[in-house]
Each structure stands twice: as C-alpha cells, then as structure tokens.
Amino acid sequence: MDMERNKTGGLVADPIKFPHGMKAVADYVHAKGLKFGLYNCAGTKTCAGYPGTRRYEYHDARLYAAIGIGYLKFDWCSSDGINAKEAYTTMRKALAVAGRPIVFSLCEWGNNKPWEWAANVGQLWRATGDISNCFDCLEDHDTWKQLGVMQIIDKQKELRKYAGPGHWNDPDMLEVGNGMNA
C-alpha cells in the first residue's frame, strides 16, 4: 500500500510495487489455488508507517472484500489511547458486513489478554510478543522485546485452555531458516 490514503480515504496500492493494483495480485494468487491475505493495523499507522485502519474500519473492510482477501492480520502499532477489545470488535463488525468471509487475526502481542475476550472477535490472536531467532533469550529493543522460542512455549501452558476449533492462540511464527542452528 502507499504511504497515504487517497482523497476519499481509500488505501492505495504502491503503483511501483503493484502496477495493476492489489486485486490483480489477489486474482493471480487465487488462480494458483491459494488464499490471499493482507496486513494492517488497528492504529493510525502500521508498524512500517503505512496508513492504519483507525477510523476507516468499514471503508477498509469493503476494500478487503472487493480485493478478495481471505485473511487479515491486524496489528497494534500506533494505537496509543485505543481500547484493544473495542478496536478489534469494530473491525470484526466491519468485516462481517463486508460481504466476504475473512479470517481475522488479532495481533496485539497478548498485552490485553485477548485469550479472555477474542474468541467471539477473531479466529486467532497473538498470545505473545514477537519471536526472536534464539532458543532461550530476550532481546530488548527499548520500546518492545523479542522472546526466545522457550519463553514463548512456556507461556502456552496456561493459555491452551482458551484455544479450540475456530479460535486459537497464536504464539507467533517459527524461526525456521532464520539463523537458528541445532
């Protein structure tokens, strides 16, 4: 997406990276028999500085449906002063009326205990901060921390009771091929 919204408030695909727009990309992916997903944020900006969805939830949900996405990862950057449960619920409502089933992945790093309230909001929620490519470490980046594999696994013991068909704890990603060795 482009760094700014257009005059009507719409998200704009970067014309250099996506000269035919995001719908063309989604159509290509679908033609290969695959699903297509996008990323955005509940805040005013994404973690990379692109436009977030705050105050544009219904507008963006209609765009996602028109593009043909089947998965939305919804992050939590630039979200100061926003209530997580309310923000994610608003986006869930927007997705529900957009006219296309979209898997909704909440990613607020477990800061607001989504496992206690998100089963009726999305299909999965991040239960931890970001993972780092180490087994047993904590990487401090001043405003945020990355956890090692073991720290993330240890957190899952108490959270597994909140997961089940259609609603899952998301312990972030595997670090396969990202510098970890046996």
Q: What is the pTM of this model?
A: 0.91
Q: What is the identity of the amino acid at 84? A: A
51 vs 179: which has the higher pLDDT: 51
Specify whether the CB–CB gap between 40 and 60 falls below 8 A.
Answer: yes
> What confidence tens digit (pLDDT) does each residue in 115-154 have?
999 999 999 999 998 888 888 888 888 888 888 888 888 8
Residues with catalytic roles: 75, 130
pLDDT at 139 (0 to 100): 86
Residue-range domains of the chain with CATH: 1-126 (3.20.20.70), 130-171 (no CATH)
